[in-house]
Amino acid sequence: MPDDPILEEITRPDLRQIYAEGLRSVASAQDLTSLEEVRVRFLGRKAPLIQLLRGISDLPLEERPEVGRVGNLVRRALEEAVESRRKRLESELLVAQLESDRVDVTLPGRPSPLGHLHLITQTQREIEDIFIGMGYEIADGPEVETEYYNFEALNTPLDHPARSLHDTFFISEGVLLRTHTSPIEVRTMEKRRPPIHIIAPGKAYRRDSDATHTPMFHQVEGLVVDEGITLADLKGTLETFVRAMFGADRKIRLRPHYFPFTEPSVEVDVSCMVCDGAGCRLCKNTGWLEILGAGMTDPNVYGFVGYDPEVYTGFAFGMGIERIAMLKHGVNDLRLFFENDLRFLRQF
């Protein structure tokens, strides 16, 4: 270091030794850890240089200015040398990491897992496609409903159990979460004159929760209104749907039932797809599985929408989408649809 101007200014042997040895140690540091050790040895609180600068007051008066000036010159030079070496080592480390982590851009990318439609959505769309193929339209309506549309206009009396707090989610006086999608049918009839062929898929809400019921579930309601509509039209429509959904060999049967907004009302069963009607555990040895409720629209309902019951007749039906999915795919617990277990969802 004969051409080093700083070295030429240092006359004290101890400072010359600290300066020269410090520069050699910094230059020989091969990694950031060893460089930090060098910094502490020459510039740390206990380093000889720092101790010398702190003890200037103990030196003779004539030595103090020179030691202070040259000592700080050495300290700054060593600090700059350490910082320069640190930047160089960090740069070399980065280059080494980039070299070791080099990516071959010609390799095919790692595929990301793709999601898919939930089984409930798949089933709903399949049901919609079947009825659209029969000439039906899809209608929609609000999930927050009034008692008028949810009950009164559907001929449901005030003392009916469905209107109790035990069965229905009420939001405020006269306002509730719809218990079925049938209110859409009333709203549609208010806006249009027959002929009407609609289905109304969507969410519904009831106070119920077990292996076959959930507080929120999905329904598809259907409505047909025109002149000369009979129960035979209802049966033919449902037979067409059942065969398209469950297979061409399926049969249906209609059993008398009661619903406030249809008269006559029926429960509809499909022949068991496991035993083909012979009887098994799934169908409880009856050969039949219940799938939906239906019936001829009660003439009282027409009074709420201004239809003449002497001119128009029609039918309505309603099915749970979860129920259809369970029967078609052999799911034995409704709660599986909502638990988001990937082991279950990946099967569909």
Q: What is the 3-state secondary structure (H, E, C) of 279-327?
A: CCCCCCCCCEEEEEEEEEECHHHHHHHCCCCCCCEEEEEEEEHHHHHHH
Tens digits of per-residue pLDDT, 137-153? 999 999 999 999 999 99
**24: Cβ contacts below 8 Å, ≥ 6 apart:** none
**306: Cβ contacts below 8 Å, ≥ 6 apart:** 190
Both ends of the chain: CA-CA distance in Å?
77
CA distances from 30 to 42, 79, 84, 104 (A): 17, 17, 13, 30
**Alpha carbons 170 and 161: distance in angstroms, whole number:** 14
Beta-sheet pairing, 262-271 with 144-146: unpaired
Which candidate, 174, 152, 168, 172, places its Cα nearest to that of 205?
168
**Alpha carbons 184 and 145: distance in angstroms, whole number:** 10
CA distances from 48 to 11, 43, 71, 123, 132 (A): 17, 8, 11, 82, 91
Dihedral of CA atoms 127, 131, 137, 139 in degrees, nearest 10, equals -30
Structure tokens at 322: 């979860």
Structure tokens at 273: 């797809």
**79: Cβ contacts below 8 Å, ≥ 6 apart:** 43
**108: Cβ contacts below 8 Å, ≥ 6 apart:** none
Q: What's the confidence (pLDDT) of residue 3?
A: 66
Give the predicted TM-score (pTM) of the model.
Answer: 0.65
pLDDT in tens, the chain (348 residues): 556 777 777 777 888 888 888 888 888 889 988 988 888 888 888 888 888 888 888 878 877 887 788 878 888 888 888 899 899 989 988 888 888 877 777 888 888 878 888 999 999 999 999 999 999 999 999 999 999 999 999 988 887 777 777 788 889 988 999 999 999 999 999 999 999 999 999 999 988 766 666 788 899 999 999 999 999 999 999 999 999 999 888 888 999 999 889 999 999 988 887 787 777 777 788 888 888 999 999 999 999 999 999 999 999 999 999 989 988 888 877 788 888 888 888 888
- 199, 136 Cβ separation under 8 angstroms: yes
Which candidate, 184, 155, 157, 101, places its Cα nearest to that of 299?
155
User: What is the SS3 assignment for 187?
Assistant: helix
∠ CA(325), CA(185), CA(150), 5° rounding?
90
Structure tokens at 63: 């030595």
**31: Cβ contacts below 8 Å, ≥ 6 apart:** 89, 93
- 31, 89 Cβ separation under 8 angstroms: yes
Which candidate, 192, 142, 136, places its Cα nearest to that of 315?
136
**Alpha carbons 102 and 104: distance in angstroms, whole number:** 7
CATH number of 119-345: 3.30.930.10
Q: What's the confidence (pLDDT) of residue 199?
A: 96
Residue 273 CA, distance from chain mean position:
33
